[in-house]
Amino acid sequence: MDDYTLPFWIYLGVLTVFVGGAMKKILASHLSTRLWAFCLPAVLLLALLGFACCIYSAVRSSPPPATLPAHGKAVFITGCDSGFGNAAAKRLDTLGFEVFATVLDLSGDGAKELQRTCSPNLTLLQVDITQPQQVQQALLDTKAKLGLKGLWGLVNNAGVCVNFGDAELSLMSNYRGCMEVNFFGTLTVTKNFLPLLRQSKGRIVTISSPAGDQPFPCLAAYGASKAALNLFINTLRHELEPWGVRVSTILPSSYKTGQSSNHAYWEQQHKNLLQSLPPGLLEEYGEDYVTETKELFQSHACQANTDLSPVVNTIVQALLSPQPQARYFAGPGVGLMYFIHSYCPFSISNRFLQKLFVKKKLMPQALRKQSSFDLNLSLHNNNNNEEKLKR
């Protein structure tokens, strides 16, 4: 059962249990005759929902439609030094795409691997997407090689997550860094390459994150940048529909990419944060509180999935499907997470996120001191009351 169908069946099951329990109580009460007529529409609605579910399941299990041919189509991908971009560039090259892959460092390991393993149809371009001049030069280089042929696909993959910690503890440089790459950088690339995409009636595929839709604890800077990106891409999807350009967003689950498994990276981030925080603020939260957060992020990164194929497969699907979806969930659990976020009460979805991502045990130091003071005060008052009763 795939990640899309599971939440729908869970929803139906919960609804069935709820309605069934309610009907059992009604039939057992003396009001059953009058309430039966009132509840009959609900029973019919449940039956209709079950029928629709069966149809939906049958459609999902039917053979997928034939995909478009990859041969002769050109794709521009950002952020191919490692992770999703590197894996996608290799897969698309194998399928016969003409790939333009951007890297931050042409002499880096990721670029050398692409040069070594891919065909001559792959072109490496050194581009920092936060530098408009480099993006414009990449556009000129791409147009020069394409000639009169348009660009079929743009894969916005480049992104960073440079913060960990509570929103108040996150440095302003982290907020700006995430926005510069994840939002403004992607915006710059997309605007520059849109004329080529409109010419070919092609595709825009953007790798975003559930953190842009849901308030993950300790990811305020990253989540805010992805939220801005999601809104931009969704707006673009409506505006480009008359031009025949299809726009898709991919929402991956947790994967081991970039610096996420680099122990030295986390230690350096932690050191920079401790050195940059105002002494008063650090005292209120406590160094042990900040250290625990760093360790939780490291642990979460170590447990992340190393198999990037679900995301890469989804990129290929979004580029070659005759009817690409507006939103793809890539990886286990993402569909269920969005189901809980969309249909469950806020208190449940909020607690789910807290338990799912960063399971903090320590409270900020100031709150611990306050709790200790309140406890001592309560014990003192109880002792006084006992002495008065003895007298």
Q: Which residues contact 113 (CB under 8 A, 6 or more apart)?
A: 86
The pLDDT score that the predictor gives to residue 20 is 60
Choosing from 175, 222, 285, 338, the catalytic residue is 222
| Distance, CA of 390 to CA of 278 (rounded, Å) | 51
What percentage of the chain exceeds 70 in pLDDT? 76
Active-site residue flag, 222: yes
In tens, the pLDDT along 328-344 reads 999 888 888 888 888 88
What phi, psi does 251 have (nearest 5°)? -115, 100
In tens, the pLDDT along 110-154 reads 999 999 999 999 999 999 999 999 999 999 999 999 988 889 999
Q: Out of 30-34, 139-143, 185-189, pick the least confident.
A: 30-34
Banded model confidence at residue 83, pLDDT cuts 50, 70, 90: very high
- Beta strands 203-207 and 246-252 are parallel
Contact in structure between 298 and 263 (CB atoms under 8 Å) = yes
| Distance, CA of 9 to CA of 54 (rounded, Å) | 10
Instruction: Pull the structure tokens for residue 78.
Output: 């950002």
